[in-house]
Amino acid sequence: MEQRKHRQQVWFVTGSSRGLGRALVTAVLDAGDLVVATARRPEQLDDLVQRYGDDRVHPVALDVTDGTGAREAVDAAINRFGRIDVLVNNAGYANVSPIETTDEADFRTQFETNFWGVYNVTRAALPVLRRQGTGTVVQISSVGGRVGGSPGIASYQAAKFAVDGFSRVLAVEAAPFGVRVMVVEPSGFATDWAGSSMTVQPVPAEYEETVGLMNRRMRQSDAGTAGDPRRAAAIIVGAARRDNPPSHLLLGVNAVEMATEHSRHRLAEASRWEGVSRSADFAEPYPAPMPADEGAA
């Protein structure tokens, strides 16, 4: 079967008050499911409660950096609906500044939300999913968590790389319990991710050609807002209902093109250096000739 016979499912979504999180909560409710919508300020979801009813959407206060709070939020979900079928780790944000001049506390604080928040909520929900013998964990990452290299958002992208590594291990460990893991990797979408949610620190002149240029592209190019959050949310809902959701779901034209080009480059590089790489093992011929420097005369 391509898709499980659908029954009403219970979703647990972090970062539900705006952006993709809010679009996802709306898509879940429009699809007929139930949702525990968490946010630092759950009163921002009052309009959804009025529209869909408190029997279908249950707002819960949650700061994902608080491990105890994550466990309490999961308990609230179970007390309200009795189960969690789909866990979505969506809460996250990025501030912009070069690595050299980024305040260490800000770098760590971003990482607390973008990685440790995922850890806290996933760990809190895993006993529930294991006991149920079924469930889907959806990690909202970024194509930058696969490709990387976006100047100015090192903490954010480092956290997304960490989320991917974490999720790959989680997928293997949780598979025997019937739990699936899907990492979602969007490119630019029409949310406030690069707007009010983002603090842009002054860019030193030395980084104007990298971080400064990236800032201007994010704010002046349509590439930053090419994606429709409502379409993305509907796609995520559909993919999460499948018996075998993709391990990694790219969303957006830029995400597909960037990921494809990145994979081609990495494969070509691995092939060029294959002989040298193999020669590090005892049983392989050594030394192996180094490939010619690219661009050398």
Angle, vertex CA 121, rays to CA 95 and CA 110, nearest 5: 15
- Give the per-residue SS3 of the chain: CCECCCCCCEEEECCCCCHHHHHHHHHHHHCCCEEEEEECCHHHHHHHHHHHCCCCEEEEECCCCCHHHHHHHHHHHHHHHCCCCEEEECCCCCCECCCCCCCHHHHHHHHHHHHHHHHHHHHHHHHHHHHHCCEEEEEECCCHHHHCCCCCCHHHHHHHHHHHHHHHHHHHHHHHHCEEEEEEEECCECCCCCCCCCCECCCCHHHHHHHHHHHHHHHHCHHHHCECHHHHHHHHHHHHCECCCCCEEEECHHHHHHHHHHHHHHHHHHHHCHHHHHCCCCCCCCCCCCCCCCCCC
Please compute, for residue 3, the number of CA atoms within 13 A of its CA located in the half-sphere on the CB side: 8
Report the pLDDT value the prediction gives residue 215, as an integer from 0 to 100: 76
Report the pLDDT value the prediction gives residue 3, as an integer from 0 to 100: 47
The contacts of residue 69 (CB under 8 Å, 6+ apart) are 61, 62, 63
What tokens appear for 146 in the block?
A: 């696969």
pLDDT tens, 135-189?
Answer: 999 999 999 999 998 999 999 999 999 999 999 999 999 999 999 999 999 998 8
d(CA 104, CA 23): 32
d(CA 125, CA 88): 11
Question: Which residues are catalytically annotated?
Answer: 141, 156, 160
d(CA 184, CA 262): 17
Report the pLDDT value the prediction gives residue 16, as an integer from 0 to 100: 96
Report the pLDDT value the prediction gives residue 255, as an integer from 0 to 100: 95
Closest listed residue to residue 20, CA positions, set 234, 254, 249, 233: 233
Report the pLDDT value the prediction gives residue 92, as an integer from 0 to 100: 93
Report the pLDDT value the prediction gives residue 213, as an integer from 0 to 100: 82
Report the pLDDT value the prediction gives residue 2, as an integer from 0 to 100: 46
Report the pLDDT value the prediction gives residue 244, as an integer from 0 to 100: 94
Q: Which parts of the chain have pLDDT scores under 50?
A: 1-4
The CATH architecture annotation of domain 10-251 reads 3-Layer(aba) Sandwich (3.40)
What tokens appear for 239 in the block?
A: 């993919």
